[in-house]
Structure 1
Amino acid sequence: MKNKTVKIGLLGVGVMGQNHLRNLSMLKQVEIAFIYDLDKQACDKISKIYNVPVSDNLEGDLKGLDGAIIATPTFTHFDYIKLVSKYVKNIFVEKPLTSTLETSKEVVKLAKELNLKIQVGFIERYNPAVVALQNVINNSKNTIAIDFSRTNKVSSRITDVDVIMDLMIHDIDLALKFNGKVDKIYAHGYIKNQMIEYARAIITHKNGSFSNILASRITEKRTRNICVTCDDKYIDCNLLSKEIFVNKQTIEQYIDNVSISSKIEIVDVRPQEALLLELVDFAKLCNGDDVLVANECSGLAAIEVANIVQKQILDSNNKQSKYIGVNLCQL
């Protein structure tokens, strides 16, 4: 479809909303129609910085948009999706899709009924290190297991969701993307002030591979790591430093059957702004292009897994290790 300027409205000008606004302002193909937030003072201040209009009549201003971005607190996602969908067909919603499994299912149903194009903000899919890692995995022999680690001391800006919905949800999405459909799940964690702040999940996938996921908001050290064990190599990916190291043996070493330390290859990772790339895809979606993005079904699939992880940790009667199955919407 011919490229045209797309009109996009932004709901929410918190930390993530401002990140969206900063990146949107760099896209020539995007016209920022308005920003909206319940915090009018913050909205007015940010409006002056970026020279964008503030919406005082959200429903009226939604009319005529090509797309809308929902970067509001998680518990408001469902209500805003329902409101926006009355006037806008292309909707970007920050992760997680909604705050509950039930409302996420409702969004999938709504998208089908109204023919909505929904993109969920799984930004790690656009992390250049993850993109490079996917290429290495695609050229590897039999992925046996992937270990995900995402830790950080609790952020004061996140108060409405636990560590599973805040941090682990990113790696749940990547686990489903890399390893496919889920067979069984086992999880345990630590609860502080009635909120899960530390969680571990072991996922058995239908293709026989494993995903081991750690997420913590009580760990002093900030980490974002993905380690992949394959038949022919071991891949160590640091999402923060954007470094990937591949340990593997040469063909000659296999033939000679000699015990020698494997060689290490460094994968070239191009520095790129993940959120900018994500929004470029959303602009294409708004323009009617056929773009492969994390849609509402991807969002629901991650919520389904997250919901089971939460239930296992919160269930005080779950005294024994117990695997639970899950049926995903689609991948």
Structure 2
Amino acid sequence: MHDRNIRVGLLGLGQMGRNHLRVLSLLRGVDIAFVYDANADHAANVAAQYGVETASNLDAAVGNVDALIVCTPTATHAEYVLRFAPRVRALFVEKPLAHSLDAAHAIEKAVQGHGTFVQVGFIERFNPAVVGLERVLRDAERVISIDFTRTNRLSSRITDVDVVMDLMIHDIDLALYLNGPVKTTAAQGVVQNGLIEFASAQLIHQNGRFSRLQASRITEKKIRLIQATCDDRFVDCDLLRKEIQIHRQSVTQQSDFSAYSIASQQESVVVGQQEALLSELQTFIQAVRGKGNAPVPVLDSGISSLAIAEDIIMAISKGHA
């Protein structure tokens, strides 16, 4: 396993699945054993572009792989994981882990019984800006609050999940990653055509920090922004531009102690530019090989994020009852 190529199967060839296929085709030490999509014609067309095989018999195909990547619709995640966890060494499941917390716990029980490694597709953990932000916050005197803003006009490809499970779930994971476990949750939102399309949530963490999250699929502008208020700095982190700005104040007092001036200082943090999905899949393949110690979003991360997401959805739903 340490020396030979890792054989990977890919389920689901929507937009995200095709992105996975593109990156997998670039990875050294990886063989794409097969691709699969519920639309067989679509699967054949995509497979032909990359010179890979499609799976005509999914159960037989999975028996010949080391790892499986699940990029199918959210409602099918649990079905595929429960079906194949006993048969593969490792599973990568796109976010969210499952369509419900109950389904996620069923996955937890199944994979623990077979020792299967599960990585959840929280790609923002691998965004170079987030990697840099984590270092900046680690050096801060005290983190008080972090604000997360994520907006994107509704995509026609998203019809099965609301904005909490589609967009906000990324920032729920980041809030837990950066601020720790949550003590209380409050939320408000806007419902359109039976789905939450705008959500605002406030989390109080067990360590006393606050997280404020806003996600929207009715906002025309695409935004991916994290802003952190600390005792000694304010941090702007743009996930799209991969930019971090640190703002500080310096106070200069006159010798007679009768006057002082406040000056603002701004510092830019240099971050890498490597594609997050490439880093994410490289980390997954290393885990399949039994190597690596990166802070990988594993099964527990997927379950914890789902629990908070369900609390947020319930709070918004009650407000619209």
Residue 251 of structure 1 and its aligned partner are, at CA, apart by: 8.0
Q: 1:186-210 deviations in whole A, cap 9, x for unaligned?
A: 1000000010000000000010000
Match of residue 125 from structure 1: 125
RMSD: 1.7
C-alpha displacement of 1:250: 4.3
Alpha carbons 2:184, 2:203 under 8 Å: kept: yes
- Cross-structure match for 1:276: 278
Counterpart residue number, 2:288: 286
Aligned to 1:182: 182
TM-score (norm 2): 0.95
Alpha-carbon distance, 1:290 to partner:
4.6
Correspondence 1:295 to 2:291: no
TM-score (norm 1): 0.92
Secondary structure of the structure 2 residue equivalent to 1:86: helix
What residue is the counterpart of 1:314 in the other structure? 317
Aligned counterpart, 1:173: 173
Identical pairs, percent:
44
Does the CA contact (< 8 Å) of 1:101 and 1:300 recur in 2?
Answer: yes
Structure 2 residue matching 1:80: 3-state secondary structure: helix
Letter in 2 for 1:101: L
1:94 counterpart residue number: 94
Match of 1:13 in 2: 13
Supply the distance in 2 between the matched residues of 1:296 and 1:107 (Cα, whole angstroms).
Answer: 9
Which residue identity lines up with residue 187 of structure 2 in the other structure?
A: A
Q: Could you say what secondary structure the match of 2:83 adopts?
A: helix
Aligned to 1:225: 225
Q: Report the CA distance between 1:63 and its aligned residue.
A: 0.7
Which 5+ residue runs of structure 2 have no aligned equivalent? none
SS at match of 2:124: helix
**1:281 Cα offset (Å):** 0.8
Q: Distance in 1 between matches of 2:74 and 2:124?
A: 18
- How many residues get paired? 317
Hey, what does 2:69 align to over in structure 1?
Answer: 69
CA contact (8 A) 2:251 2:262 kept: no
1:105 corresponding residue in structure 2: 105
Gaps of 5+ in 1: 319-331
Q: Which runs of 4+ in 1 moved over 4 A?
A: 250-253
Name the CA distance, whole Å, in 1 between partners of 2:243 and 2:201: 25
Q: CA–CA distance in 2 between the matches of 1:2 and 1:114? A: 21
CA displacement at 1:261 relative to structure 2: 2.9
Q: Is the 8 A contact 2:187 2:199 kept in 1?
A: yes
Q: Is the 8 A contact 1:68 1:92 kept in 2?
A: yes
Q: 1:297, 1:252 → 2: CA distance? A: 48
User: Take 2:292 and 2:203, find their aligned partners in 1: how far apart are those partners?
Assistant: 32
Cross-structure match for 2:135: 135
Residue type of the partner of 2:220? Answer: E
Range 204-213 or range 309-318, more displaced: 309-318
Give the match for residue 84 of structure 1: 84
d(CA) in 2 for partners of 1:136 and 1:3?
37
